[in-house]
Amino acid sequence: MFDDILSWQRSAIRMGSLMVESQSVVAMRLMGFGGVWSVPPSEGYRMIAEKSPAMLKSWWGMQQAISRGANPERVLAAWTGPLEREARSNRKRLARRGPKLTPGLEAE
């Protein structure tokens, strides 16, 4: 029973982490498109191009976990893992760029 409670909490933390990471990326990109955050000119393309591969990896990992008969926590981890990694990578990359302090085009 105690392990079931921890399992639920670990899953909730995993989902919460994914939500925070992805919303941070959305916020920095929106600020970038508005001229407040420093984003590269290719960010709009990158934002669209990264979705399909990340979702495919996520779906494939989840399907493999289900086909192996994994418990729900492991299925959720297989589904969120690739999405978390992509969102965390984007957040770190965009956070390093920081606010846009000077007008004009930004370098890649």
Give the residue extent of every domain in the chain. Answer: 10-96
Q: How confident is the model at residue 105 (pLDDT cuts 50, 70, 90)?
A: low
The pLDDT of residue 104: 61
Confidence of residue 6 (pLDDT cuts 50, 70, 90): confident
The pTM of the full predicted model, rounded to 2 decimals, is 0.83
Closest CA to 46 of 17, 80, 96, 86: 86
* CA separation for the pair 49, 54 (Å, rounded): 9
Residue 30: which pLDDT band, with cuts at 50, 70 and 90?
very high
